[in-house]
Amino acid sequence: TLTAPAPFADETSCQCQAPHERLTIAQARLGTPADRPVRVYADGIFDLFHAGHARALMQAKTLFPNSYLLVGVCSDDLTHKFKGFTVMNETERYEALRHCRYVDEVIRDAPWTLTPEFLEKHKIDFVAHDDIPYSSAGSDDVYKHIKEAGMFVPTQRTEGISTSDIITRIVRDYDVYARRNLQRGYTAKELNVSFINEKKYRFQNQVDKMKEKVKNVEEKSKEFVYKVEEKSHDLIQKWEEKSREFIGNFLELFGPDGAWKQMFQERSGRMLQAFSPRQSPNSSPTRGRSPSRSPSPPWVINKTSPPSSPKAASASLSSMSEGDEDEK
């Protein structure tokens, strides 16, 4: 398991115990003994170490069944002289290579053009690089003599990613990164930003904050409106259900055949019966009397027809007393 970064070349010696004899590609692909790995060398600047670098080193490491990968990294002086300014300094670039899982050894201050002395010193069998001619230092291809010696093995470039692409993105979005770093506490002097641009960036940061607040308020208001609409929909649905129930109860009570009509008819019938006079039976003693004539009091003496005899008078008195008892 990997528990430590790859060592630097000056911190270790060549691990080949057997005498070094340069291998052919056929011998290397066939496989070598464990104590004689194929020593593959890959070099570069490795500025802003990215996945394209890692994939190139992975290919170099897996070219042969048993290989030992040495990676040479050029110094700042050499790089600035032949290629240009770098984002990362040489120490940062050295350390980035040491933590790549495919790297077995890092050679600091690697030469720009490989010499026979350098190849012999590090007992290099093959040099791995992409097959595109690399013109630099007054040469059309700095790996031309390596290819002629049969020591060159090609790797494939990873399209869409390179150090130049990353730098282009930074330059393109310079304002965004400058504003972000100002917001994080970097000074305008550290960012090489003028006073006017600093104020402009800070103002833009404030505008962005206001936009973010407005966006949050809009999202919250939309959420609130959605909840209100959902709640109102529920209320309307409940109101419709209650209104149907209310209308049904109203029709059941006050409709054409409702309970209220039946109750009204029953009460009106009772009232008519209460206001209408009762018919007396035929056997009632008042039935035979004339409605226009009221009974005379017992003390009124019929002057027109006086009793003809004392017996008749007594008989009339007795009949009147019986009539009074009946009325009582």
Say whether pLDDT at 195 is over 80.
yes
In angstroms, the CA 260 to CA 273 distance is 20
| Six token digits for residue 176 | 């965004």
Q: What Rg, from alpha-carbon coordinates, does the chain have?
A: 61
- DSSP tag of 4: S
Quick check: 48 and 167 in contact, CB under 8 A?
yes
Are 127 and 201 within one domain? no
| Six token digits for residue 165 | 């692409």
| Six token digits for residue 166 | 């990353």
Say whether pLDDT at 304 is over 80.
no
Q: Quote the domain boundaries for residue 110.
A: 25-161
- Single out the residue in 225, 260, 295 at which a domain terminates: 260
- Single out the residue in 134, 161, 188 at which a domain terminates: 161
pTM of the model: 0.62
Average pLDDT over residues 153-178: 93
- DSSP tag of 101: T
Segment of 92-101, 210-219, 316-325 carrying the highest mean pLDDT = 92-101
Q: Which of 2-11, 56-65, 162-171 bottoms out in mean pLDDT, i.e. has the lowest? A: 2-11
The stretches of 184-258 forming alpha helices (DSSP H) are 195-254
Residue 285, domain member (yes or no): no
Domain count, the chain: 2
Are 173 and 154 within one domain? no
- Single out the residue in 129, 161, 193 at which a domain terminates: 161
Angstrom distances, CA of residue 71 to CA of 48, 93, 322: 16, 12, 156
In angstroms, the CA 64 to CA 24 distance is 12
Residue 16, domain member (yes or no): no
pLDDT digit string, tens, across residues 224-268: 888 887 788 778 888 887 887 877 777 777 767 767 667 777 777
Amino acid at 156: Q
Residue 265, domain member (yes or no): no
For residue 46, what is the domain's CATH number?
Answer: 3.40.50.620
What pLDDT sits at residue 110? 97
Say whether pLDDT at 21 is over 60.
yes
What pLDDT sits at residue 230? 79
Average pLDDT over residues 113-134: 93
Average pLDDT over residues 45-58: 97
